[in-house]
Amino acid sequence: MPATTQRPAGKKVLLMATCLCDAFYDDVARATVEVLQHLGVEVGFPENQTCCGQPAFNSGDWKSSRKVARHTAEVFAGDLPVIVPSGSCAAMHFHGNRLQFEECPDGAVESLANRTWELIDFIVNGLGIREWPGRFEKPTRLAFHRSCHLRGTGSGEAITSLLSTIANAEVVPFGQAEQCCGFGGTFSVTFPHISGRMGSLKLDHILEQHPDLLVSGDMSCLMHLTGLAQVQGRPVPHKHAVQVLRDTLQA
Amino acid sequence: MVNRQPIDAYAHDIDEEKQSSVSGGSAASTDKRYSALFSDYEDPNALRRLASRIKDHTLHHLDDYLEQAESSLKRNGCHVHFADTDDDARDAVLSILREREITRLTKSKSMASEEIHLNDHLIKNDIEVLESDLGEFIIQLDGDVPSHIVRPIIHKNRREIARTFQREGIADDYNDDPEAITRRARVHLREKYMEAEAVITGGNFISAESGRVVLVTNEGNSRFGMAPSRVHIALVGIEKLVPTDRDLAVFLNLLGRSATGQQLTVYTEFISGPKDDSQPSGPEEMHVVLMNNGRTDVLASNCREILRCIRCSACQNVCPVYRQASGHAYRSPYGGPVGAVLSPILFGDRFPELADLPKASSLCGACNEVCPVDIPLPDLLLRLRDKAKREHIPQPGDLPMAPFATLATSPAIWRTAMTMSKAMNHLPIEMAPVRPLQDWLGQRTLPEWRGGDFRKWLKKRQSD
């Protein structure tokens, strides 16, 4: 899939930070900028960006989510690649939007779909970076949680393979990796019991492997998982994959 | 909690033993499916895509293939009945039985019959019906309903079954050894087979080309049922057609592996009509009831892909929501992702009552990944959520999204809100402004609000 991508790559991009990084995880957005700039990429940040609209889309309020999607498409108009440090928000651009605009096609929204990359997918398959020159000071076991929106995209493979090239890093497999962590955005609010149970199960499988660090390409999954872990008295150190890339480079 | 989603509430209250039977059983099936498919095929996904194309083609030309199937079946000596509604299907079966004064029959597993509550109808009309599939037999003894498409008693464990057998006099004593359970059921069922005058089966596939009705089982019970019976009635949904016998190679290779991790199920029967000179055993008469019951409405909807379904239950097995809630939570014979799509639209007039089902998913996509006919289940769940919203069917726990959309399309206000909301860091949880958020925060901590910090950092970096 990624090898034959028609999406534009190149050294000039627009960053969509995502609402979650805008509100909570500023350091992930920072790491994104730092890593991309380290790779010689010029990063533009349209000030008027907000959210991809996924909360409304998943709730079934497509009138509202189309409104947000049109706004986002307008903010990111042009022909530059749009880089998103979240598999979920990226998939909203190239999958969710296509679904909700099936009956009312929109050129700007379709253009955004054709230019959107999940961040690590872009680094590996867009820029062709196959090895990461970073290192951990001591042997480090990484549990990589492949978020569900990476299914069927090149990102899961891209992240695992790039993390594996970091010196002293070991990506450890864990049980039932194909299972969802239970976040699902508004799902975690409307199905609190099932969502919590799914998260706890995921944590059981991950913690069984005693990882030093839980890594994902989606802060939403990590917010849910680490929030649960905290309340359950089993906190787990965690980072976005791009933070790992930056931090191991500085070490 | 107020306004609980019915499926979440069900999962909250479910018996722990039942939940662990369901999640353990389905996780095991998911693993078996994976090893069976990936050890035999270099690229199982290519096979899934091929199967999906064959089904789409068939559904696109369903009118033609139905005509062809009808004439092939008739050529084979079958009687063909078209049933437009559930009533029509029940009436068709009952009148076949009545005209022949049949009062006793056995039945092999059929989701189509579950869908129209055929047993209840026949029993009400003084027909003795015996389920001969072991799982369905136990369901019948317990007065329960199936909770899984392929393994109807996945929610039970062997101790419960042993108790049932003792209670119902199938056995004299309690014995929960699986082999003993099977042996006892067999002794009981074999006698009943011999008394039956008719057998009702479903049909996994019908080849339009040859009129062969294909039955896939692991117990051989349909075969046993057919041996002594005068009349065979196959109740089959109209979407079960495939164009040719050759297509069966694709579907049979996928069905067993996807359902139970078997290369092929133990019995695969190709039934080409009643007995005649060329096949001297079997029932004297064969009737095929082709049932619509809402399927043409589904075909006309934007969720028509669900009609590709071959009832393998792989989506159900892999679904994390199903594993927590069990099939009974879905209030229909079809549970899991396929049920969450199919039930609200198949029983069209029940859409408002079942419109919560499509919400019972984190949209994780595992169902699509395992589906042997590549049904885009998450997309269909989303389309049904949109339908519910457009038809103004409110769902418990719905969050107001119009204000969110206004905020997310007003960048200046958005930026201000991002910074201002830092005040939230100092709010105690119990003061969270939205009720559902309080429940969310009961189970999880929320990270510190750092709205606007990235933008500030970036501005500084750009000006340096």
Decide which of A126, A161, A189 is a domain's last residue. A126
Cα A73 from Cα A70, distance rounded (Å): 5
DSSP character at residue B359: G
Written as tens digits, the pLDDT of chain A (251 aa) is 444 578 999 999 999 999 999 999 999 999 999 999 999 999 999 999 999 999 999 999 999 999 999 999 999 999 999 999 999 999 999 999 999 999 999 999 999 999 999 999 999 999 999 999 999 999 999 999 999 999 888 899 999 999 999 999 999 999 999 999 999 999 998 999 999 999 999 999 999 999 999 999 999 999 999 999 999 999 999 999 999 999 999 75
Using 50, 70 and 90 to split pLDDT, how confident is the model at B435? low
Q: Is B291 helix (H, G, I), strand (E, B) or coil?
A: strand
Q: Measured on CA atoms in the order A91, A88, B356, A199, is the torsion positive or negative?
A: positive
Does pLDDT of B445 surpass 90? no
> Would you state the pLDDT for residue B420?
87
Using 50, 70 and 90 to split pLDDT, how confident is the model at B384? very high
Chain A residues touching residue B305 (CB < 8 angstroms): none
A194: nearest CB among B321, B415, B461 = B321
Mean local confidence (pLDDT), B96-104: 97
Cα B369 from Cα B36, distance rounded (Å): 15
Compute CA distances B139 → B136, B301, B328, whole Å: 5, 34, 13
Which two three-digit tokens encode residue A29? 């957005």
Residues 332-361 of B with CB under 8 A from A: 358-361
Claim to verify: residue A82 and residue A177 sit in the same structural domain:
no
Name the residue with higher pLDDT: B422 or A67: A67
Cα B333 from Cα B318, distance rounded (Å): 18
Given a contact cutoff of 8 angstroms between Cβ atoms, the answer to whether A199 and A228 are in contact is yes
Using 50, 70 and 90 to split pLDDT, how confident is the model at B167? very high
Using 50, 70 and 90 to split pLDDT, how confident is the model at B432? low
Q: What percent of chain B has pLDDT over 90?
A: 85
Tell me the CATH number of domain B41-293, given options 3.30.1340.30, 3.55.40.10, 3.40.718.10, 3.40.50.10420: 3.40.50.10420
> What is the rounded end-to-end Cα distance, in angstroms, of chain B?
52
Using 50, 70 and 90 to split pLDDT, how confident is the model at B2? very low
Given a contact cutoff of 8 angstroms between Cβ atoms, the answer to whether A218 and A20 are in contact is no
Mean local confidence (pLDDT), B279-304: 95
Is residue B396 less than 8 Å (CB to CB) from chain A?
A: yes
Contacts of B17 (CB under 8 A, 6+ apart): B157
How far from the centroid of its chain's Cα atoms is residue A203's Cα?
19
> Would you state the pLDDT for residue A2?
45
Q: Is B205 helix (H, G, I), strand (E, B) or coil?
A: strand
Which two three-digit tokens encode residue A179? 């299972």
Q: How many domains does chain A have?
A: 2
Claim to verify: residue A95 and residue A186 sit in the same structural domain:
no
pTM, 2 dp: 0.96
Claim to verify: residue A197 and residue A116 sit in the same structural domain:
no
Decide which of A126, A152, A174 is a domain's last residue. A126
Count of C-beta atoms within a 10 Å radius of residue B460? 9
Mean local confidence (pLDDT), B55-64: 98
A64: nearest CB among B318, B402, B457 = B402
CATH number of the domain encompassing residue A146: 3.40.50.1860
Count of C-beta atoms within a 10 Å radius of residue B316? 32
**Rg value, chain A, Cα:** 18
Chain A residues touching residue B360 (CB < 8 angstroms): 191, 194
Which domain covers residue A65, as residue numbers? 2-126
Decide which of A126, A161, A183 is a domain's last residue. A126
> Would you state the pLDDT for residue A105?
96
Claim to verify: residue A110 and residue A203 sit in the same structural domain:
no
Number of residues that make up chain B: 464
> Would you state the pLDDT for residue A1?
44
Q: Quick one: closest CA in A to B412, which residue?
A: A48
Name the residue with higher pLDDT: B198 or B431: B198
Contact A190 B365 (CB under 8 A): no
Does pLDDT of B107 surpass 90? yes
Domain ranges across chain B: 6-12+310-390, 41-293, 408-463
Given a contact cutoff of 8 angstroms between Cβ atoms, the answer to whether B228 and B193 are in contact is yes
Which two three-digit tokens encode residue A197? 């149970």
Does pLDDT of B187 surpass 70? yes
> Would you state the pLDDT for residue A114?
96
Is residue B421 less than 8 Å (CB to CB) from chain A?
A: yes
Chain B residues touching residue A190 (CB < 8 angstroms): 5, 8, 359, 395-399, 436
Chain A residues touching residue B439 (CB < 8 angstroms): 189, 192
> Would you state the pLDDT for residue B152?
96
Given a contact cutoff of 8 angstroms between Cβ atoms, the answer to whether A40 and A12 are in contact is no
Claim to verify: residue A200 and residue A240 sit in the same structural domain:
yes
Cα A238 from Cα A214, distance rounded (Å): 4
Q: What is the DSSP string of chain A?
A: -GGG--S--SSEEEE---HHHHHT-HHHHHHHHHHHHHTT-EEE--TT----SHHHHHHT-HHHHHHHHHHHHHHT-SSS-EEES-HHHHHIIIIIHHHHTSSS--HHHHHHHHHEEEHHHIIIIIS-------EEEEEEEEEEE--GGGTTSSHHHHHHHHHHTSEEEEE---TTTTS--S-TTHHHHHSHHHHHHHHHHHHHHHHTT--SEEEES-HHHHHHHHHHHHHTT----EEEHHHHHHHHHH-
Cα B304 from Cα B376, distance rounded (Å): 11
DSSP character at residue B278: S
Average pLDDT across chain B, whole number: 94
Q: ipTM value, please give it.
A: 0.96
> Would you state the pLDDT for residue A3?
45
Best mutation target, A51, A57, A59, A226, to test chain B (most B CBs within 10 A) = A59
Is residue B463 less than 8 Å (CB to CB) from chain A?
A: no
Mean local confidence (pLDDT), B94-112: 97
Claim to verify: residue A121 and residue A9 sit in the same structural domain:
yes
Claim to verify: residue A47 and residue A75 sit in the same structural domain:
yes
Claim to verify: residue A117 and residue A21 sit in the same structural domain:
yes
CATH number of the domain encompassing residue A18: 3.40.50
Count of C-beta atoms within a 10 Å radius of residue B353? 13
**pLDDT per residue over B11-57, tens digit each?**
999 999 999 999 999 999 999 999 999 999 999 999 999 999 999 99
Q: Quick one: closest CA in A to B421, which residue?
A: A23
Write a three-state SS string for B25-43: HHHHHHHHHHHHHHHHCCC
DSSP character at residue B409: T
Using 50, 70 and 90 to split pLDDT, how confident is the model at B427? low
> Would you state the pLDDT for residue B431?
58
Given a contact cutoff of 8 angstroms between Cβ atoms, the answer to whether B93 and B87 are in contact is no
**Rg value, chain B, Cα:** 26
Q: What is the DSSP string of B37-106?
A: HHHH-S-HHHHHHHHHHHHHHHHHTHHHHHHHHHHHHHHTT-EEEEE-SHHHHHHHHHHHHHHTT--EEE
For chains A and B, CB pairs below 8 A equal: 211
Claim to verify: residue A119 and residue A215 sit in the same structural domain:
no
Chain B residues touching residue A53 (CB < 8 angstroms): 405, 408
